[in-house]
Amino acid sequence: MPHNPRFALTPGEPAGIGPDLCLLLARQQHRHPLICIASRALMQTRALQLGLAINLIEVGPAAWPQQPAAAGSLYVWDTPLGAPVETGQLNGANAVYVLQTLTRAAQGCLDGHFAGLVTCPVHKGIINEAGIAFSGHTEFLADLTGTPQVVMMLATHGLRVALVTTHLPLKDVAGAITAERLLKVTRILHADLRDKFGIAKPRILVCGLNPHAGEGGHLGREEIEVIEPALQQLREEGMDLIGPLPADTLFTPKHLEHCDAVLAMYHDQGLPVLKYKGFGAAVNVTLGLPIVRTSVDHGTALDLAGTGRIDSGSLQVALETAYQMVRRPVAG
Please give the annotated binding residues for a divalent metal cation, written as ranges. Answer: 167, 212, 267
**Could you write out the DSSP letters of every residue in 233-252?**
HHHTTT-EEEEEE-HHHHSS
Residue 198 amino acid letter: G
**Could you write out the DSSP letters of every residue in 301-332?**
-GGGTTTS----HHHHHHHHHHHHHHHPPPP-
Query: Burial, 45: exposed, middle or buried (Cβ in 10 Å; 0-12, 13-18, 19+)?
Result: middle
The rounded distance, in Å, linking the Cα atoms of 255 and 205 is 8
Q: Which residues are annotated as a binding site?
A: 137-138, 167, 212, 267, 275, 284, 293
CA 76 to centroid of chain Cα atoms: 21
Which residues are CB-neighbours of 320 under 8 A, at least 6 positions away? none
Q: Which residues are annotated as a binding site for substrate?
A: 137-138, 275, 284, 293
The rounded distance, in Å, linking the Cα atoms of 150 and 141 is 9
The rounded distance, in Å, linking the Cα atoms of 89 and 98 is 15
